Amino acid sequence: MDNTRPRMRWWGWGEDGNDGPVKPGARAMLTEACGWPDGVDNPPIELDAVQLPTSTLPDAAREKLAAVVAADHIREDRATRVSHAAGRSYPDLLRLRGGDLPYAPDAVLYPASSQDVDRLLAICHEERIAVVPFGGGTSVVGGVDAFRGGFESCVCISLARLDRIVSIDEESLTATVEAGVFGPDLESDLQEKGFTLGHFPQSFEFSTVGGWVATRSAGQQSTGYGRIDENVFGLRCSTPTGVVELRTTPATAAGPNPRQVFVGSEGTLGIITEATLRIKRQPEATVPDAWFFPDFASGAAAIRRLEQEGLRPDIARLSDVNETAFGLAQLGSELQRKGLLAYLRVRGIKTPCLMVLRYDGKASDAKARKSAGRAIAKELGGVSIGGAPETMWEKHRFSTPYLRDQLLTHGVLVDTMETSAPWSEVQDLHDSIRRDMEAALLERGTPGFVLCHISHLYTAGCSLYYTVFARQEAGAEMDQWRALKTAAGDAMMAGGGTITHHHGCGADHAPWLPKETGELWPRMLRAAKAEVDPAGIMNPGKLMNGPEEL
Amino acid sequence: MDNTRPRMRWWGWGEDGNDGPVKPGARAMLTEACGWPDGVDNPPIELDAVQLPTSTLPDAAREKLAAVVAADHIREDRATRVSHAAGRSYPDLLRLRGGDLPYAPDAVLYPASSQDVDRLLAICHEERIAVVPFGGGTSVVGGVDAFRGGFESCVCISLARLDRIVSIDEESLTATVEAGVFGPDLESDLQEKGFTLGHFPQSFEFSTVGGWVATRSAGQQSTGYGRIDENVFGLRCSTPTGVVELRTTPATAAGPNPRQVFVGSEGTLGIITEATLRIKRQPEATVPDAWFFPDFASGAAAIRRLEQEGLRPDIARLSDVNETAFGLAQLGSELQRKGLLAYLRVRGIKTPCLMVLRYDGKASDAKARKSAGRAIAKELGGVSIGGAPETMWEKHRFSTPYLRDQLLTHGVLVDTMETSAPWSEVQDLHDSIRRDMEAALLERGTPGFVLCHISHLYTAGCSLYYTVFARQEAGAEMDQWRALKTAAGDAMMAGGGTITHHHGCGADHAPWLPKETGELWPRMLRAAKAEVDPAGIMNPGKLMNGPEEL
């Protein structure tokens, strides 16, 4: 397989052929909540019509780079440049679909090895060329936007050819993997040998190990299998001034933990070319369960107790009233939906909140945990119709991002925001973020519809994940989005949350980093960065590099 | 209680009255292995005879500091200065007992609040006074040695009066605690309310929350309850140029994780004054178990499988042949010991390796895990005499450090070293570290006796913890120790280990930090430090500050 072929269509999510029509129930609900914009049909522009900045890569630099990767792995054609100009944030989608790209890499480089990456970074450092590392390009926070940070030229270094599983240590249950390995390739290779990483972000199909590590990713099973930062035991990072190799160590007390600085560094320190990850034996059984609760508070209490009482669900999500309603609205048959709601009403549940769970492990153990969990759910007023809602959710769990593309064509804004907080602050934070996003949208005359779920459980708290819909404000789409984003971010800060639980900082969240940690920490990060990247070529405008003015 | 009174005797471990005589069996074993040095009686020197550097705190600085903490909380008397001059590493003990202290703080300051600490650090920054933060002073790696790093004056800031549990969030299962709270005080307060932190380093009785967080501590139950770095969700750190407050967040993807930089910073960035920690409900049951294995390899395979198959022992230790023999040699009765050995021999175990386990939780769950664990132990050739060896180990688990003091009086060197490694490297590393330490001691004419155990289990690996005995090389005690330490550290590096799993870096391990991580990481740390401590006053000579020439 030629990994240098982009896996995603250049203007949106994933591959063509996966977009169904917006389901009538969803459309009806958005019409009621936001006012469906009748007659809008805004397909993406043609690739040839995209306004692309002229390439400015000096010939001398190109020659030096070509000495490392050979000329056919320096690509400067339109399709390649556009495909590597941005990720899949809402602003990215606006710019791509509209064909108004203020930035793009001059060239995309495809090194074949870690050592190639070392050499390319050394050249870029010498030549003062900005570098944007690129895995799958699925960032939803502007993490791969090809900013050049004041440099004349900018290249994108794709890790697509670093696609090997280097080794599997079956005794230590670790796998050493190159950065460019894509999720499905990794899982199928591991599963063939009886193992799994268990890392399934929504971007799973199109994202890479290096991207996961660089962005401190979490997946839909991270409650059970751990976030990526919990699963990295060693790594190799190329920087403009040398290589950092962190040996594989299950735990160390040798000062501050360098793994936890390179994990999440988002390409600002260098390029992670290889990581050693914890793997697990594939579970003997995966046991689904699902419950409806009369309100968000009782569901939250149940899901909290599941975690705190040690029942260790591997997947756990609680949708609030809006998200549950939106999910039910997309059910196949209206009859089915009405029947379910009637059933729940009889049992005292008028505004259902759906909790889906999955327990992995030895069959007997998974069933015992499920059974103990059911006692808690019942105690808190839950009603179950069996595990089917979990199975159904799982079946569609990678398809939601496609909906964004369709809604944009219809003139509907859709974005997601996420945070985490201690349990004692979850209910207030849930309410205040929603309220502030709704207020910001209403103020612009475009009422919003806000869904939320709890996921990623910890004994101390959980993540809150929002999906927001609104009519697009024609001609002021970016301003509208910025107002929404600001309202959400500020509400997270005010309510004791973090600006991101697992999307990363990128360009979009960079303004909130000093608000969350204070000014000293970003200063410390910038000082540490200057040691490995004194010229500041690595991923300008992201994370502690602050947002770039466009 | 007056927390400003030192909890440990100035010249050694703990409190007087806890030193029993060296058990005859232990003495016999050390005599055989190392040659017991007959007739040596080297008690510690008298306090008045300690050679102490003259205090050099300028009056102007003293006045400024006194404006913050009041004159009775700046102490400059001999007892206080000596008690805060060093920790409890082997070099510390040599210097203290010999009364030849090349360093000591000019004064010890006792702030009453986080804000006091802020003010003191600002003054020390202005006046260019070196600062050594001090919790319980139990460091075994020179972490609190009162080096002054080229500054004219040095003060020790004791956290003893920051002794409050600020709040307990029962819903989120977290406790916010001031840095100076001692282990037993914290646990008794938590347990009164039905909670536990479950953090029991061997220093438990004399160490503090701030010390645990600053040194990335792990305890004897950390396999089940987590290392301290896994249990810190928020913290407050005073630095010479301002305060870093990291909000309580169960998890975040906002870039590199600042918690994991301040945790383990060992006072080089500032003083951690408060931390928010995960707590757990006290377990309903604690179920002990213990096994003897025919050799280290089979025991290691068993303990690995316990962890990898999800049986989650909360305490788990496997002693190698030497450590098991040394433990049995200290048993109350020779008859008992011989009976046990005969029993094991009949069952095919000639060189027993003891594994002790404890399962905490709901009684039914803990028993089920124990039962599943027993099947694994049996499969690997283990023989059990019930849980008594675990109970016995637990009873004495805080008393071993006292043995050091007694052995030193008798002219016997004793030190501990620890590392961690992936399971696939554990056996080789176990052998090579032991071999290299024995060779280094033999070369000096003082044959060593080396014990080792596995503890702190991870799916990917474990820690290896060594205890080493040898006759002291009279007149060259420090050189002898340095040769031993170098052999151990170099063997760890060569064999894929870390220089420390839970003792921290301090002064003693600082030379190995760049060997373990490469030079770039310590440079990054020094650059980050310069942002918050531009004058370099914080804990000179430790960690990335490199070892100080004495």
Residue A223 counted as domain residue = no
Asked if A496 lies within 8 A of B245 by C-beta distance, the reply is no
Residue B297 counted as domain residue = yes
Comparing CA positions, the residue from A338, A298, A305, A346 lying closest to residue A321 is A298
pLDDT tens digit at each of 550 positions of chain B: 678 888 999 999 999 988 888 899 999 999 999 999 989 999 999 999 999 999 999 999 999 999 999 889 999 999 999 999 999 999 999 999 999 999 999 999 999 999 999 999 999 999 999 999 999 999 999 999 999 999 999 999 999 999 999 999 999 999 999 999 999 999 999 999 999 999 999 999 999 999 999 999 999 999 999 999 999 999 999 999 999 999 999 999 999 999 999 999 999 999 999 999 999 999 999 999 999 999 999 999 999 999 999 999 999 999 999 999 999 998 878 888 999 999 999 999 999 999 999 999 999 999 999 999 999 999 999 999 999 999 999 998 898 899 999 999 999 999 999 999 999 999 999 999 999 999 999 999 999 999 999 999 999 999 999 999 999 999 999 999 999 999 999 999 999 999 999 999 999 999 999 999 999 999 999 999 999 999 999 999 999 987 776 5
Interval A99-119: pLDDT, tens: 999 999 999 999 999 999 999
Residue A476 counted as domain residue = no
Round to whole Å and give the CA distance between A386 and A354. Answer: 12
Round to whole Å and give the CA distance between B465 and A70. Answer: 50
| List of chain B residues whose C-beta atoms are within 8 Å of the C-beta of residue A278 | 459-460
Which 3 state secondary structure label does DSSP give A154? Answer: strand
Round to whole Å and give the CA distance between B361 and B376. Answer: 20
**Listed residues B161, B179, B201: the one ending a domain:** B161
A460-496 burial by CB neighbour count: b if 16+ within 10 A, else e? bbbbbbbbbbbbbbeeebeebbebbbebbbbbbbebb
Round to whole Å and give the CA distance between B18 and B404. Answer: 12
- Considering only the beta carbons, identify the residue of A169, A242, A458 that sits closest to B424: A169
The pTM assigned to this predicted structure is: 0.97
Asked if A260 lies within 8 A of B260 by C-beta distance, the reply is yes
Asked if B256 lies within 8 A of A261 by C-beta distance, the reply is yes
Round to whole Å and give the CA distance between A106 and B312. Answer: 52
Residue B499 counted as domain residue = no
Strand segments (E) across A257-370: 271-278, 280-281, 285-293, 315-319, 353-361
| Catalytically active residues of B, by annotation | 465
Round to whole Å and give the CA distance between B125 and B238. Answer: 12
Round to whole Å and give the CA distance between B348 and B346. Answer: 5
Active-site residue, A402 included:
no
- Judge contact between B449 and B74, C-beta under 8 A: no
| List of chain A residues whose C-beta atoms are within 8 Å of the C-beta of residue B521 | 244, 246, 258
Of all residues in chain B, the one with the smallest CA distance to A425 is B172
Asked if B169 lies within 8 A of A424 by C-beta distance, the reply is yes
Q: Which residues contact A506 (CB under 8 A, 6 or more apart)?
A: A87, A89, A139, A141, A142, A143, A145, A215, A266, A542, A543
- Judge contact between A274 and A181, C-beta under 8 A: no
Residue B221 counted as domain residue = no
Of all residues in chain B, the one with the smallest CA distance to A277 is B460
**Listed residues B142, B161, B180: the one ending a domain:** B161
Of all residues in chain B, the one with the smallest CA distance to A226 is B251
| Torsion of Cα atoms, B380 then B381 then B385 then B387, to 10° | -10
pLDDT at A407: 96
Strand segments (E) across B312-388: 315-319, 353-361
Binding site residue list of B: 133-139, 266-272, 404
Round to whole Å and give the CA distance between B174 and B281. Answer: 11
Three-state SS annotation for A181-231: CEHHHHHHHHHHCCEECCCCCCCHHHCEHHHHHHCCCCCCCHHHHCCHHHH
What's the domain count of chain A?
Answer: 2
Q: Which residues pair with B129 in a beta bridge?
A: B153
Asked if A498 lies within 8 A of B252 by C-beta distance, the reply is yes
| List of chain A residues whose C-beta atoms are within 8 Å of the C-beta of residue B460 | 172-174, 233, 248, 250, 278
| List of chain B residues whose C-beta atoms are within 8 Å of the C-beta of residue A243 | 518
> What CATH number is given to the structural domain containing B147?
3.30.43.10
Q: Nearest C-alpha of chain A: how many angstroms from B242? A: 8
DSSP codes of every residue in A287-315: EEEEEEESSHHHHHHHHHHHHHTT---SE
> What CATH number is given to the structural domain containing B343?
3.40.462.40
DSSP codes of every residue in B10-51: TTSSS-TT---PPPHHHHHHHHHHH---TT---PPPPGGG-B
Residue A413 counted as domain residue = no
Residue B424 counted as domain residue = no
Q: Nearest C-alpha of chain B: how many angstroms from A303? A: 12
| List of chain A residues whose C-beta atoms are within 8 Å of the C-beta of residue B257 | 216, 229, 257, 260-261, 263-264
Q: Nearest C-alpha of chain B: how many angstroms from A196? A: 14
Asked if B216 lies within 8 A of A456 by C-beta distance, the reply is no
Strands B174-178 and B271-278: antiparallel
| List of chain B residues whose C-beta atoms are within 8 Å of the C-beta of residue A463 | 250-251
Q: Is A138 annotated as a binding residue?
A: yes
- Considering only the beta carbons, identify the residue of B251, B361, B503 that sits closest to A227: B251
Q: Which residues pair with B275 in a beta bridge?
A: B177, B235
DSSP codes of every residue in A244-259: EEE---S---SSS-TH
Round to whole Å and give the CA distance between A32 and B124. Answer: 64
Asked if B460 lies within 8 A of A233 by C-beta distance, the reply is yes
Q: What residues make up the domain containing A391?
A: 285-396
Q: Nearest C-alpha of chain A: how many angstroms from B100? A: 29
Q: How far is CA B494 from the centre of its chain?
A: 23
**Listed residues B161, B187, B205: the one ending a domain:** B161
- Judge contact between A273 and A238, C-beta under 8 A: yes
Round to whole Å and give the CA distance between B71 and B109. Answer: 9
CB pairs A-B closer than 8 Å: 284
- Helices A477-494, A423-443: crossing angle, 10 deg rounding: 150
Q: Is A129 annotated as a binding residue?
A: no
Prediction ipTM score: 0.97
Residue B522 counted as domain residue = no
- Considering only the beta carbons, identify the residue of B242, B424, B530 that sits closest to A172: B424
Using CA of residue A43, residue A47, residue A50, residue A52, what is the dihedral sign? positive
